[in-house]
Structure 1
Amino acid sequence: MQGFTIRRVVEDTTPLRDFLMKDMGISRKMLTLVKHEGKIEVNGIHRTVRHELERGDEVVVTFPNESPSPHMTVSNRPIRILYEDDSLLAVDKPAGIATIPSRLHPTDTLANAVLGHYARIGLSSTVHVVNRLDRDTSGVVLFAKSGFIHHRLSELQKTNRLTRTYVALVEKEVSPQTIDAPIGRAEGSIMERTVTESGQHAVTHILDCQNFNRDFLLTIRLETGRTHQIRVHLRHIGHPLIGDSMYGGANRMLRHALHSASARFIHPLTDEEVSIEAPLPQDFRYT
């Protein structure tokens, strides 16, 4: 069975292999899969990647059909959909649920719930998570409905063309600034991270700080995506998240006050700008 299909019109003479990889954004690994299990056509005729394209040719690539992992359990947990089309899904993740299955949370995760949504709409696909959030972080999580879209969105993330904005609650005012401090695993801990010279490069931009009830609401953009990055960097500058017991935050919420508020990117198929927003969660308003 064949699955996801994309088509493009050629603008200049070029080898088909180059067009598939450079213009259509198909990775080398995925191209090998398409050659063996999918279909590549030029003007309706099957062609090998050695074919020379001419201006005006139409290239159609059909990817192999995907199937969900047999090890993943379908969950009927409801999801709040922020955006959906034939290739993308964006969900407003609640706090207290893991993004993907793990040893501690093997079944009732956001990914399991998305698999349940796919079953309800008749989509046979692997669950491709584009961005993960900590269990107690809420907000926008993106899912790609095919391996090709997942690859394209991952490439956008690497080059900061998929931007995600977070909001966070702290007790004291913080001036807008950039925190450039490497993050690594804290000594003697599996989960905790810390700023350390031996850590990985990590950059956090605090864009704005506003009064919010008796606290302060920060708007934050990540340049890198290290584990617990915002939480670690805010502790590093002396402003831990409210509710973040691991990193010294005030014990005034049942979870750390961090929310993935928005995601913006150019759609990998339509080239149109997509802007997705998740409303501020209720527990932020009653700290």
Structure 2
Amino acid sequence: MPSPQPSALAALPYAPPPDRGPEIAYLDASLLLVNKPAGLLAVPGRGDGKDDCLLRRVQAIVADALLVHRLDLHTSGLLLLARGREMQRRLAGDFAARRVHKRYLAVVAGRPPADRGTIDLALAADWLQRPRQKVDQLAGKRSLTRYQLLGHDPASNRSRLALFPETGRTHQLRVHLQALGHPIIGDRLYGDATAADRLLLHADQLRFIHPASGRPLCIDSPAPF
């Protein structure tokens, strides 16, 4: 069996956006939500020159901030951070129990076959083309994404979709949309990188019960595209 080879994308130099301070969408004594720009790692990466990341930028302002989940390097949008280990433990439990509801906005090629639908395809790592993932109905982990058509532009033959991941696999939305035949615009791994100057995928809403107050919390972040 041939040795795994890193993709061309993995070899690209890391060029994070300028640090103008984190864009905080919500902050209290227990948690905060921050808008991650596209092109910025959520946590320090492997190798030299990859220390700059959202977590370190936030901790320069909120010292006790701890990450609860992640977004892909090229995905922008809302990230939830806990303040302190106990709150991190509670929020991580909410994610694991699927009590945190995530919505993404994406621009994709073409128009999906239905205005609403569900993509139920198991995913696994593509070790020969890492960091890519692939559909693998036999050995993969079950992965579920719901989508809703928000609009279609016949001139460009592109559609805006709201995406609701029911599971949180690596690259899930990107692989699922590619498998559906409608890759996300600007996707260097699973689509046409020349179609946009960034991946047109943005985490635009998080809904959950506040672990300290017990009140529903819904935070929105309009997509920058």
Is 2:44 the counterpart of 1:101?
yes
Q: Please give the alpha-carbon distance, in whole angstroms, between the structure 2 residues aligned to 1:221 and 1:258.
A: 12
Q: Please give the alpha-carbon distance, in whole angstroms, between the structure 2 residues aligned to 1:110 and 1:205.
A: 28
> Are the equivalent residues in 2 in contact too, given 1:77–1:113 (CA < 8 A)?
no
Q: Partner of 2:149 in structure 1?
A: 208
1:81-130 CA-to-partner distances (Å, cap 9, x unmatched) read 10000011100111111000012453210011011112xxxx4x2x4211
Percent identity (aligned) = 35
Q: Partner of 2:121 in structure 1?
A: 181
> Are the equivalent residues in 2 in contact too, given 1:128–1:144 (CA < 8 A)?
yes
Pick from 22, 44, 50: which aligns with 1:79?
Answer: 22
> Are the equivalent residues in 2 in contact too, given 1:100–1:109 (CA < 8 A)?
yes
Q: Please give the alpha-carbon distance, in whole angstroms, between the structure 2 residues aligned to 1:130 and 1:90.
A: 10
1:2-42 CA-to-partner distances (Å, cap 9, x unmatched) read xxxxxxxxxxxxxxxxxxxxxxxxxxxxxxxxxxxxxxxxx
Aligned-CA RMSD value:
1.8
Q: Please give the alpha-carbon distance, in whole angstroms, between the structure 2 residues aligned to 1:203 and 1:171.
A: 20
Q: Partner of 1:10 in structure 2?
A: none
Q: Partner of 1:244 in structure 2?
A: 187
Moved more, 259-268 or 172-181: 172-181
Q: Partner of 2:4 in structure 1?
A: none
Moved more, 232-241 or 185-194: 185-194
Query: 1:163, CA displacement in angstroms?
Result: 0.4
Q: Which runs of 5+ in 2 are unaligned?
A: 1-17
Q: Which runs of 5+ in 1 are unaligned?
A: 1-74
Pick from 156, 166, 177: which aligns with 1:223?
Answer: 166
Q: Partner of 1:168 in structure 2?
A: 106
Structure 1 runs, 4 residues or longer, greater than 3 Å off: none
Task: Report the TM-score when normalising by structure 1.
Answer: 0.67
Is 2:170 the counterpart of 1:232?
no
Is 2:90 the counterpart of 1:147?
no
Structure whose alpha-carbon radius of gyration is higher: 1
Pick from 111, 114, 122: which aligns with 2:58?
Answer: 114
**Match for 1:112: what amino acid?**
R
Q: Please give the alpha-carbon distance, in whole angstroms, between the structure 2 residues aligned to 1:274 and 1:219.
A: 19
Could you say if the C-alpha distance between residues 244 and 202 of structure 1 is closer, same or farther in structure 2, counting changes exceeding 3 Å? same
Q: Please give the alpha-carbon distance, in whole angstroms, between the structure 1 residues aligned to 2:212 and 2:76.
A: 28
**Match for 1:257: what amino acid?**
L
Q: Please give the alpha-carbon distance, in whole angstroms, between the structure 2 residues aligned to 1:117 and 1:134.
A: 23
**Match for 1:246: what amino acid?**
L
> Are the equivalent residues in 2 in contact too, given 1:139–1:278 (CA < 8 A)?
yes
Q: SS state of the match for residue 111, structure 1?
A: helix
Query: 1:158, CA displacement in angstroms?
Result: 1.9
Is 2:79 the counterpart of 1:131?
no
Q: SS state of the match for residue 57, structure 2?
A: helix
1:222-264 CA-to-partner distances (Å, cap 9, x unmatched) read 1110000000001111110101121123622122111000000
Q: SS state of the match for residue 235, structure 1?
A: helix
Q: Partner of 1:40 in structure 2?
A: none
Is 2:216 the counterpart of 1:276?
no
**Match for 1:209: what amino acid?**
L
Task: Report the TM-score when normalising by structure 2.
Answer: 0.84
Moved more, 140-149 or 150-159: 150-159
Q: SS state of the match for residue 201, structure 1?
A: coil
1:68-89 CA-to-partner distances (Å, cap 9, x unmatched) read xxxxxxx964111100000111
Q: SS state of the match for residue 113, structure 1?
A: helix
Could you say if the C-alpha distance between residues 167 and 87 of structure 1 is closer, same or farther in structure 2, counting changes exceeding 3 Å? same
Q: SS state of the match for residue 245, structure 1?
A: coil
